[in-house]
Amino acid sequence: MGESLELTSRQMESWSASDIVLWALDHYGDGLWLASSFGAEDMVLIDLMCQKTPHPHIFTLDTGLLFPETYDLIKTVEERYRVSITRVVPELTLEEQKARFQDALWQQNPDLCCQLRKVMPLERFLQDKKAWITGIRRDQTTVRAASPIVGWDTRFQLVKINPLARWTYRDVFRYLVAHQVPYNPLHDQGYPSIGCVPCTRAIRPGEALRDGRWAEKEKTECGLHQ
C-alpha cells in the first residue's frame, strides 16, 4: 500500500485540492473523515467537501479549552452547510484532569495535556476509520515541509490525505474571500493559527505563522502530525 500511495501522491502534485477531495471520497466513502480545528485551512476543506457530498463526515477535537469564537464558528458551519459536526472529547473532564494531575496542566506539562486532550481521543476515534483529511500545509513548519499529499499514517494506521499541502496562507484566504466562506474572526486579530485558549496568542511583527502556539516553549506541535 505504501508504494501505491507514494505514486498516487506524486501524481497528485498537479491536481487541484477539489480533485483530491473528490478522489478521497470516491476511494474511502463513509470511511473518510475530515479533521477540523476550524482554522482557515479547515474552512476551505469543509467548503470543498460540502460541494462534493451532501453528507460529509467532519469531526473536531473538543478539548474544552477552545476559544468562544471557535465554538461560535462550529455552530455557524452546522447551520450554513446543514451538517452535524462530531465532537471528539477527552476521557477526562478539565476538573478530573486537574484532580488527577495538577491545575493548568498545559502550563507545566503541555505535552501531557495535548496527549490527554487531543492525541488519545484521536487515537480512539480513528480506530475504525479508513482515511482522514487534514489541513496541513508544507509552509506551516519545518516538520510539515515534507508532508505528502496522500500517504500511510503509521501512527494512527490509516490513510492520511492533505489536499492543501501545496497551498500557502495567502492561497487559503484567497479562496475564503472568493467563495465567501466564513472563518474565525481571530484570524483578523493576528491569530493565523488557533488552538486552545491557554496555549495560543496573537503573533508579533516578524514572527512565523505558528509562533503564537505554545509561545516561549520549545513545543511546536500538539503531537497529531509528528
The catalytic site residues sit at 222
Cβ–Cβ < 8 Å for 200, 213:
yes
The Cα-based distances of 146 to 9, 119, 128, 150 in angstroms read 12, 21, 27, 12
Q: Using alpha carbons only, give the angle 34, 121, 192 rounded to the nearest 5 degrees.
A: 55
Q: How far apart are CA 52 and CA 44, in angstroms?
A: 13
Is 50 annotated for ligand binding? no
Question: In degrees to the nearest 10, what's the CA dihedral of 55, 46, 224, 8?
Answer: 80
Q: How far apart are CA 190 and CA 49, in angstroms?
A: 27
Helical spans, DSSP H, in the chain: 2-11, 17-28, 40-52, 68-81, 94-100, 105-108, 110-114, 120-126, 169-178
- Please state the residue numbers annotated as binding site: 113-114, 196, 199
Feature table: binding site for [4Fe-4S] cluster: 113-114, 196, 199
